[in-house]
Amino acid sequence: MGVFGDLRRLWRGVRTLARHDALIPREYAERLPPSFRMARTLTGSRKAKDADSTPGKRLALALESLGPAYIKLGQVLATRPDIVGGDVAGSLVSLQDRLPPFPTDVARKVVTEALGMPLENLFSSFSEPVAAASIAQVHLAQTTEDPPQRVAVKVLRPEVRDEFARDLRAFALAARIAERFSREARRLRLKAVVETLARSVALELDLRMEAAAASELAERTRADPDFRIPAVDWKRTQDSVLTTEWVDGTPIRDRAALIAAGFDPAEIARIVIRSFLTQALRDGFFHADMHPGNLFVDADGRVVAVDFGIMGRLDPDMRRFMAETLAGFLARDYRRVADVHYEYGFVPAYHPVDTFAQALRAVGEPVFGRRARDVSMGRLLQQLFDTTRRFDMRAQPQLILLQKTMMVVEGVARGLDPDFDIWDASRPVIEDWMIGHVGPEARLRDAAEGMTALGKLAQSLPQLLRNAENVSQMLAEGGIRIHPDSARAIALAQAARTRHVRVAVWIMVAALGAIAASLF
């Protein structure tokens, strides 16, 4: 289908967004130029059925109706408030990843083909779907071993890879067009957003990667007494099928059932918050989809998490930055929080540090003295990132995913205990991490690692000097020499790239005109 097919798919998305009043929302129309108001009319924008709905909620509903790729796009945009705004990003956090199940007979066929043997050789029973989402659905099954084991079998939707490929190709075309003609689109790096989405989807569409994530998280949290990950059955896992132990537990969303089973909802809330922060700060690897449907409480009172398609990672520098930032807010030391941003190079030096600290005080002070139920760490982080953008800090995807997950986890905790004190529950995890990584012992360890690095540098110094000498000699003789074949290849590639860009733009303009003419 090529470019024309991609444009038709984009037009379908545009019309669906317009019908939900989510493309150019009525709330913004009066502030936009006349050309935008005309575009709103031409695309078929209409007043939303729910007069009290927000643009973010309408966008979430529209993306849900458009299918799997758009749902995943919404999840990525939830981590980019710099593109869609904080309020819209907050609405997209709760985007519902639900679709009707596909037939069990089809699921059985997928399992047979993926695992390379008849389903009856692997499972003595295989239920109807118990849960269905945009990428896969889950069945309860029983293995053929003696004794048999109850397992959850996650089966990829048929044709989902082709469906994603078509939509992602259309998204990439839209991003290229936008960056070609819009400076703001280039600043927001829309092509990079689509590339991030494509990488995320590629991982989610291979269920072996989800199995590996579950295995890694289980390994990292094995010694944690209050948190557990179901074991992966690797024998029954392939790219289109993931099998794990079945979780017998009380859904964390059912507060009444937890109380009836003898569990204290406030204690469960503490476990959820501390488990998440421990994963993020201690391990740098956290479950990034901890909504209530993915959390259970087993008979021993342990929180059990399922569904590992979305995971977050924080490198050591980001973990230190996050811990020091949160610790600074806990201590109301805004100058320290400001200094941390400058030390990591997140805020350009041309902004006065005292002015930035003053802006941080405006974020932090309203938190103190308020009731615990009115204080949100996730919203504090969102306000922090909004403030730092005003001081030219570029979006840090690692931190925004952390903030998004923090808001979801807070929602879980508040659902269990409306008066839950997020800061009180978080303080021990943050302080323990700071002692281990910023205290005297940590400084000695860093010094030792620094000496090791200096030793390695000393070993490589002769080669570095020889390289520098060679470059200096080449510069003295008139410049760095490039082989003629290499120079020719670079020139041809650049010419081809420029020509292809020109041709693609003219094709896009012609195609848009043809489609518009056919629709109106």
Question: What does the alpha-carbon distance between residue 406 and residue 401 come to, in Å, rounded to a whole number?
Answer: 8
Phi and psi torsions of 282, nearest 5° = -75, -45
Question: What does the alpha-carbon distance between residue 175 and residue 195 come to, in Å, rounded to a whole number?
Answer: 10
Q: Is the dihedral of CA 195, 200, 204, 208 positive or negative?
A: positive
User: What kind and span of H or E run contains 139?
Assistant: strand 136-143
Question: What does the alpha-carbon distance between residue 92 and residue 113 come to, in Å, rounded to a whole number?
Answer: 36
Strand order in the sheet with 150-156: 123-132, 136-143, 150-156, 241-245
Residue of 306, 400, 310 lying closest to 86 (CA atoms): 400
Q: Which tokens is 130 given?
A: 């118990």
Question: What does the alpha-carbon distance between residue 421 and residue 266 come to, in Å, rounded to a whole number?
Answer: 10
SS3 percent helix, strand, coil of the chain, rounded to 5, is: 65, 10, 25
Question: What does the alpha-carbon distance between residue 391 and residue 296 come to, in Å, rounded to a whole number?
Answer: 41
Q: Which tokens is 254 given?
A: 């059912």
Single-letter amino acid, residue 292:
P
Strand ranges (DSSP E) for 24-93? none
Q: Which residues lie below 8 Å from residue 183, measured CB to CB, with a gap of 6+?
A: none
The residue whose two tokens read 């990525």 is 76
Q: Which residues are catalytic?
A: 289
Q: Round to the nearest angstrom and report the end-to-end CA distance of the chain.
A: 22
118-121's contacts with Cβ under 8 Å and 24+ in sequence apart are 120/144
Residue of 396, 417, 340, 405 lying closest to 378 (CA atoms): 405
Asked if residue 420 lies in contact with residue 373, where contact means CB atoms within 8 angstroms, the answer is yes
DSSP conformational letter for 126:
E
